Amino acid sequence: MDIKIYWTDFAKNELRAIFSYYKERANLRIARKLVLAINQEVMKLEKQPDLGQREELLAERKQVFRYLIYKNYKCIYWFNKDGNRIEITDVFDTRQNPHKLKRTE
């Protein structure tokens, strides 16, 4: 059975915000290219769910959170073995204060 990629509403909203920002600040082509590249990075997890490093700032949580980096963005996820899916919980701009990462609680 293949591992599915599931985007939480929070992560989808963050991705939309990134798209909107670049659409207004740069242009539509750049916004699309960036969001597509972030999605392609995440798709690697279908074959290797433990590819990313552990996210130490979320170590106190029940799930084991990991992350992948694409440019300035950290894609935070955990592997839901019961559901056989990768749950993308956040797309975090690494230029922010790292402790803001806990905002998803």
pLDDT tens-digit readout, 10-32: 999 999 999 999 999 999 999 99
Question: Which spans in 1-105 are helix H?
Answer: 9-25, 28-43
- Give the whole-number percent of the chain exceeding pLDDT 70: 96
pLDDT, mean over the chain: 93
pTM of this structure:
0.89
The SS3 assignment for 44 reads: helix
Third-level CATH fold of 4-96+99-103: YaeB-like fold (3.30.2310)
Domain boundaries, the chain: 4-96+99-103
Q: What are phi and psi of 55, to 5 degrees?
A: -90, 105
